[in-house]
Structure formats: C-alpha cells, structure tokens
Amino acid sequence: MQAKPVLEVKNLRTSFRTERGKVTAVDGVSFSLGKGEVLGVVGESGCGKSATAQSILRLFDETYTTHEGEVWFEGQDLLSLPAAAMHSVRGNHISMIFQDPLSSLNPVYTIGNQIAEAILIHKNVSRREANARVLELLKLTGIPAPEKRMGEYPHELSGGMRQRVMIAMALACESKVLIADEPTTALDVTIQAQIMALMEDLNEKLDMGIILITHDLGVVAEVCSRVVVMYLGQVVEEADVVSLFARPLHPYTQGLMKSIAQMDCDRSQPLHVIEGTVPSLHSVPAGCRFAPRCPFADDLCRTRMPELEQHGDSQKVRCWHAETILREGNADA
C-alpha cells in the first residue's frame, strides 16, 4: 500500500520563451511521492528529468518561464505561491542536491559557513547553535574529522566529500522531501556506492521522501520502490520497481533495460543500443514522441499521441501497442 503522498505533481507543464519560439520541456507530467518513499526518475539526457525537478522548486527565471498544472505540498500549490513564500520552501521543506557539487558550492566560503547559512536563514537559532548543528550534520553524513572540515573550502575536499557536504546542506533544516539530481555523477564506483548507501540510510532514519533522478537502472533497482520513466518531457511509463524490471511495457523502457550490460552476456556481440537520439524540443514529433526510434511504430503512432493509461494494478504506460510490446519482450527474454 502506497504511503500518503507528501508531494503531488499534477499535469505539470513548463515552457520557455527562446529566440526560436516557445518550447515545452515538461509536458503534462504527473506523479506522487509518499512519505519515506524513494521514487526513481529515469531517462536519457534531454528527457526533462532535471527540468521537472527544478520546476517543482520554481528555480527557473520566471521572466522567460511559464508553469502550468499543480504541485501540492502540505496543502499548498507551490506553483501559485508568491515568490517570497517559495523562499521559505526551498532548502527548508524541500531540498535539492545538484549534479556537480563543486559548481553548487561557493568557493570563497568555508564548508561550515555555507551549511550554517541555510540553518540561520530558515531557523530562529544563534550562530553557536547553527555551528553545533553543522557539526552534527557532518558526522551524520560520514565526513571524517568534521571539526576540521568545517573550516575548509570546497576545493580542499574530494568529489565524494563535496557530495556529502551537499547532502548535509540538504538535511540542514530537516526537509520532508529531498530531490537528488544525478547525485553520483563523475564519482568513481566505490564512492558512488558509498553515497547511495548514505542516502538509503538517511531515508530510513529520517523517513524523508526522496526523488532520485538518474540514468543508472542498477541504482534504481537497488534503492527505489517506484519508477517514473521520462522521454522528451513526458512520462511514458510508471510502475513499482519489481513490476518495471519484470515486465517493462513501453518500448523505450525495454530499450533501456536491454542496454544494460549483463555479466553472462556474449562478449563477441555488440551491446544493444536504442537507435537515434532524443529530438530537439524545437522539433517534437507529431504523434508518439518515441515513434521515430521505435521498432513497433506504425501510422497510428506517427499521427496520434497516446495517453498514459493504467495497465494492471501497478503500471501505467503511454503506448498504443503496450500488449504487443509485452509479448515481444517476453518472447525475447
């Protein structure tokens, strides 16, 4: 039974004004996040994963950005809040970890000062209390010699340490939702495993809802309970993690699964690839957005957009031929 949603995204649509006209990077995205749940959001680069996350927190310049739909958190629609009210949500109730911690940290301030700043902005505490909380957070995230690290600058830390600092900063105000955007990018596999183990541990201890944006299906299988698959700004499949790996319904999801190298694969054979690339937002296909790359596409797919429909108790899929895809996939398995 799914936990009561702590965050609900309903028909979210984010558009940008550009020199070449209006483009829609997030197109009708809906999902919910339960308390204590880890929700995976997967897809290739350019599929709208990060744009969706940043839209939830309204991080884009709203001079050039239009948001439609609803984002419900604690009885409030975040998209309708005044800009000033959103400041009290960001970093306080909903926190985000970005892909590159070095570019997210200020190079001229110490680690301790940067984490303390978030606490001082959102909480009515003294500097001494804030520093004590910083030390507690650095210990919680497994940073060795935390007293020393408080006085160091971002460039003095390793990539894994900087990512731990970003997690500590995200936890500074005991947020109820954490959005982690490719948190292990550019880290070696050992450090990746440590960071993911840390996030799992914190999720269990703090009962925090986590949205994990990643392209690594291995990580999804290990830590997520539900998965949203995105393609060109839309959700094309949603399922619990067991159902998704047991019977992916969308051809894009199947392609992602087949692209994973297996330990017992025939090494003389080339790895499976999804032909083509994600189209530009300026040239979105008329029908199904995956049709130009899909081996099952027909005239219906190329002319009419399928809706995201329920399949069984645990899956939703946006495909005209989901049942055929399932049969073909099982036949190939």
- pLDDT(25) > 90: yes
Indicate if 9 and 133 belong to the same structural domain.
yes
In the sheet that holds 209-213, the strands lie side by side as 94-97, 177-181, 209-213, 38-42, 226-231, 234-240, 315-317, 309-311
Indicate if 208 and 247 belong to the same structural domain.
no
pLDDT digits 0-9 by tens, 61-116: 989 999 999 999 998 999 999 988 998 899 889 999 988 888 889 999 999 999 99
Residue 56 confidence (pLDDT): 97
Instruction: Give helix 159-171 / helix 127-140 axis angle, nearest 10°.
Output: 130
Indicate if 220 and 236 belong to the same structural domain.
no
Residue 3 confidence (pLDDT): 54
Residue-by-residue DSSP string for 292-321: GG-TT--HHHHHSPPP-EEETTTEEE--TT
Indicate if 48 and 186 belong to the same structural domain.
yes
CATH for 184: 3.40.50.300
Indicate if 239 and 209 belong to the same structural domain.
no
State the average pLDDT for the chain: 90
To which residue do tokens 């985000």 refer? 96
The residue from 224, 241, 259 where one domain ends is 224
Indicate if 133 and 79 belong to the same structural domain.
yes
CB 31 within 8 A of CB 56: no
Indicate if 267 and 220 belong to the same structural domain.
no
How many CB atoms are closer than 10 A to CB 287? 18
Indicate if 271 and 160 belong to the same structural domain.
no
pLDDT digits 0-9 by tens, 119-149: 998 888 999 999 999 999 999 888 999 999 9
Indicate if 209 and 296 belong to the same structural domain.
no
**How many percent of the chain have pLDDT more than 70?**
95
pLDDT level of residue 333 (50, 70, 90 thresholds): very low
Q: What is the mean pLDDT of residues 210-235?
A: 93
Amino acid residing at 12: L
CB 91 within 8 A of CB 122: yes
The residue from 204, 224, 244 where one domain ends is 224
Residue 183 confidence (pLDDT): 86
**How many percent of the chain have pLDDT more than 90?**
63
Indicate if 135 and 158 belong to the same structural domain.
yes
Residue 283 confidence (pLDDT): 93
CB 173 within 8 A of CB 91: yes
**Higher-confidence position of 142 and 16:** 16
Residue 148 confidence (pLDDT): 95
Indicate if 180 and 147 belong to the same structural domain.
yes
pLDDT level of residue 330 (50, 70, 90 thresholds): low
Residue 1 confidence (pLDDT): 44
Name the DSSP class of 90: B
The residue from 224, 253, 270 where one domain ends is 224
Name the DSSP class of 4: P
Q: What is the mean pLDDT of residues 271-297?
A: 91
User: What residues make up the domain containing 263?
Assistant: 231-332
Instruction: Count up the domains in the chain and report the number.
Output: 2
Name the DSSP class of 82: -
Residue 332 confidence (pLDDT): 53
pLDDT digits 0-9 by tens, 293-329: 998 999 999 999 999 999 988 899 999 998 877 776 5
- pLDDT(181) > 80: yes
Indicate if 35 and 116 belong to the same structural domain.
yes
Distance, in Å, from the CA atom of 82 to the CA atom of 67, rounded to the nearest integer, reads: 13
Residue 329 confidence (pLDDT): 54
